[in-house]
Structure 1
Amino acid sequence: MSELSINTTQNVNINFTAATIGQRILAFGTDLLIMIAYMIIIVMFINYSGLGDAMGKMDPWSGAAIMIVLFIPITFYSIFFESLFEGQTLGKRLLKIKVVKIDGYQASFGDYFIRWLFRLVDIVFSLGTVGFISIVVSEKSQRLGDMAAGTAIISLKSDISINSTILEDINDGYVPIYPLVIKLSDNDVRIIKDNFQRAQKHYDHEIIRKLTHKIEAVTGIKNQSGNDADFIKTVLKDYNFYTQNM
């Protein structure tokens, strides 16, 4: 499975796992079954409601217009549900995959529309061949519609949490202590957090002490807490505070 690095609006890279070709096919198959079920219901309605007889007495244009209206939900199925569920059709929700923008922004209706429009090439006219090949060969597992819209499909089953990023959970009333943390870069903070979490997991106090000294040397900050672990936690929170409010 390929990894997707998405840069958020806060200039933070978060890694996700791209949905596999199998997940995408199963999601598409599920959506297809739902659409087939809808068509069967419509056909039964036409046959048993008397609408079929009424349409038989209409001119061809009127009958065609009624059929178009009845089957509009099939035509716009994907764009409707992706817009409604923010990147998921019913099949995608079941398989726990989702359409996202690769620049970190929330995908818009225009993005879903572009993906829907390219279905003609990716799926309909090529019977899925073009879409399959482009997903397999592209770096971010994108079909042509995704490439045009700047989107990708990720797996929500990925073991990704706030602890996997440089983000920290800070409340609205948080008061920072060390303004000089802005001398650090995103990569510096990522390295600090990764090593700090590993050191805590293995009770490696020596690594925590070395991280504290390194932070002090790079930023000019002096540990005011007297506790190295608390100092590093504060530095991480302060960095998030300042970078999110700049």
Structure 2
Amino acid sequence: MSEIQINTTQNVNIKFTQAAIGERVVAHIVDWIIKLAFIIPMLLFLDSLFQDSVWFYTLDGWSRIAIYIIAVFPAIIYTLVLESLWEGQTLGKKVMKIKVVKIDGYQASFVDYLIRWFFRIVDLNMLSGFVALISIIMSDKGQRLGDMTAGTAVISQKNKVRISHTIMEDIGEDYKPKFPSVIKLSDNDMRIVKETFVIAKKGKDFDTLNKLRTKIEAVMETKSEEATIPFIDLVIKDYNFYTQNM
């Protein structure tokens, strides 16, 4: 599998393993099996419910279609809801250990997932997914049209080393975290924080350190009186603490 090079806003290059087409196809099939397990019983139930209903057959065709669409609506928004709640994963993606990420290294937002979901009409529903397949093959980051528009990519998490395992901070058993809101940061965020912090601190690049601090505070929705370097160091240690104790 090829790698995806992501250049963050702090000019730090991060490598992710691109999810293979086969992994994405299997994840898609798993998700469809789950959706069909809901859709088929629901449609059979509606058919039996309206079989002898005079009221139902007095409705025009569009109204009847609308009733069926409303009934299966959970399946329609299945992908959008789960990717939003599970940070880029559906049940199928969890099974295949792949997920959606922003190509700038940060966690995708609801709007990004909404764009990907909307473009499924073109990518996956037209020509039986042929458009998505060609887009993924032609893109150097394995992106379908929805990914290109949303600025996302699908990566593999297999053999993934958690960020908490790579920080290796000696925080001690009696360590008391100072910033509980650090859990608002994702693994991708922490990967960027750590690499940027190490590089900028070593090069005494205080401008980058201050920008990194501003971004961290924005995501964590907090302000600190700590100096920039001690603050970022505390954030890394706190994240390590909470990850170890999850």
Q: TM-score range by the shorter chain?
A: 0.5 to 0.7
The equivalent residue for 1:44 is 44
| Cα deviation, residue 9, structure 1 | 6.8
- 1:38–1:77: structure 2 CA closer, same or farther, 3 Å change rule? same
SS in 1 for 2:124: helix
Tell me the equivalent position of 1:193: none
CA distance in 2: counterparts of 1:159 and 1:84, whole angstroms: 21
Equivalent position of 1:111 in the other structure:
112
Unaligned ranges ≥5, structure 2? 172-176, 179-199, 206-228, 237-246
Give the counterpart letter for 2:73 in structure 1: I
Q: Which moved more, 1:105-114 or 1:66-75?
A: 66-75
Q: Output the amino acid matched with 1:124.
A: N
**Residues 85-109 of structure 1: CA distance to partner in whole angstroms, max 9, x if unpaired?**
1111111111111000010121011
2:181 equivalent to 1:182: no
Change (3 A) 1:102 1:58: same
Alignment of structure 1 residues 70-85 onto 2, 5 Å: 70-85=71-86
Q: Distance in 1 between matches of 2:138 and 2:20?
A: 12
Q: Distance in 2 between matches of 1:66 and 1:118?
A: 24
1:185-209 Cα distance to aligned partner (Å, 9 max, x none) = 89xxxxxxxxxxxxxxxxxxxxxxx
Give the secondary-structure state (helix, strand or coil) at the position aligned to 1:100.
Answer: strand
How many residues in Structure 1 have an aligned counterpart in Structure 2?
Answer: 186
Match of 2:122 in 1: 121
Question: CA 1:143–1:45 in 2, change beyond 3 Å: closer, same or farther?
Answer: same
In 2, Cα distance between equivalents of 1:10 and 1:243: 18
Check 1:33–1:170 CA distance in 2 against 1; reply closer, same or farther (3 A cut): same
Shift of 1:29: 0.6
Name the TM-score, length of structure 2 as normaliser: 0.64
Q: Which residue of 1 aligns with 2:21?
A: 21
Structure 1 residue 3: Cα displacement:
0.9
CA distance in 1, matches of 2:105, 2:144: 19
Aligned-pair CA distance for 1:156: 1.1
TM-superposition CA deviations, 1:103-160 (whole Å, max 9, x none): 0121011101111111122111132111111111211111111111110011111443
What is residue 155 of structure 2 aligned with on the other side? 154
What do you get for the CA RMSD once the two structures are aligned?
Answer: 3.3
SS in 2 for 1:142: coil
Cα shift readout 1:160-216 (whole Å, capped 9, x = no counterpart): 344997x6647668xxxxxxx835289xxxxxxxxxxxxxxxxxxxxxxxxxxxxxx
Q: Which of residues 233, 239, 242 in structure 2 aligns to 1:241?
A: 233
Amino acid in structure 2 at the alignment position of 1:151 = T
Alignment pair present for 1:5 and 2:5: yes
Specify the structure having the higher radius of gyration (Cα).
1
**Matches of 1:170 and 1:150, distance apart in 2:** 37
**Aligned letter for 1:137?**
M
